[in-house]
Structure 1
Amino acid sequence: MERLFSILSKSFMILGGAALLALVLLATGNVALRITGAPFAGTYEIVSFLGAIVIAGALAHTQRRKDHIVVDILSEKFPEPVKRVLDTLNYACTCVLFGIVTWQVWVWGEKLRLSGELSETLQFAYYPFVYVVAAGFGALTGVLFLDFMKALLRGREDGE
């Protein structure tokens, strides 16, 4: 399972990186063409869609590397066994929270698909981008679940 989420999180990171590259090229090209008076139509929409993919693509891989911001002002004062229990509870709570987020974003994508809602300028369907964001949150949820299981098993091995 660890290997699966490693491959999945790296794949999402590559997708997010490709979206970031496309976003930068589009924004740069749009600025250059704006000078000539012929900017790309719908740049704002595309940049918004790509921005969502960039963020969703980075979530799981960033969690695997533990690169998210951690505020441990209070927990650093606790003894090691208490820290392990708090880590386990934290991973459990965040796993449940992001599981709900994944589900609700997917439901929202389904509503958009069924309604046939399109973007205003380019008439792009919203739902594929929403599904990608839901999948990114799903990958984050899976990584958080693995972190929870590791923290739980580490606590049991230490005799707690």
Structure 2
Amino acid sequence: MIRAGHLTTALTKGATFSSWLAAACLLGMMGATCLDVALRFFRYPIAGAYETVGFLGALMVAFALADTTLKGGHIAVEFLADKLPPAPRKWLNRTVTLVLIILFGLLTLRMGRHALELKEAAEVSMTLKIPVWPVVTGITAGMGLFVAVLVTRLR
């Protein structure tokens, strides 16, 4: 049986690892963009640089969600919530969290199904001709971790 403390620790470690993956994606995006721009000067642009940056950008966002949520790093517009007393504010936060769990939970399930469909169809990217399903699987994993972190916020 897994205790709540162990689960929270595992989620925190998973979110930290995921944030490192997001950082690696950002570094890859910067490297691909800089190299492509530099090589264009010599008339040797990198084929698929735009495609690579797009894939890495999507992965970066998905991988950053869980850790950003744990750290409370999202931008929050709380004009209404700041004016509420503590009890209704707590109710509003839980309601919003529940809506996010449902929305991203459904989105994660659909993305996972889509990744399997892409793998089965052997779908590849247009320029580089690399399989697309691993990218969608990575996005699914990042969103799944985000949903798990949201669930811990309901306590």
TM-score band by shorter chain is over 0.9
Specify the alignment match of 1:98 in structure 2.
104
Unaligned stretches of 5+ residues in structure 1: 150-160
- Give the number of aligned pairs: 149
Equivalent of 1:13, from 8, 12, 19?
19
Inter-partner Cα distance in structure 2 for 1:15 and 1:84 = 32
Equivalent of 1:47, from 53, 69, 87?
53
Inter-partner Cα distance in structure 2 for 1:7 and 1:90 = 25
Alignment of 1:50-129 (within 5 A): 50-129=56-135
Inter-partner Cα distance in structure 1 for 2:27 and 2:94 = 37
Instruction: Kindly state the Cα deviation for residue 91 of structure 1 after the two structures are TM-superposed.
Output: 1.4
Are 2:34 and 1:28 aligned? Answer: yes
Inter-partner Cα distance in structure 2 for 1:23 and 1:75 = 37
Inter-partner Cα distance in structure 2 for 1:78 and 1:27 = 46
Inter-partner Cα distance in structure 2 for 1:90 and 1:42 = 39
1:59-78 CA distances to partner (integer Å, 9 max, x unpaired)? 00000011111121112221
Q: Secondary structure at the match of 1:148?
A: coil
4+ residue segments displaced more than 3 Å: none
Q: Percent identity?
A: 31
1:115-137 CA distances to partner (integer Å, 9 max, x unpaired)? 11111111100000000001110
Unaligned stretches of 5+ residues in structure 2: 1-6
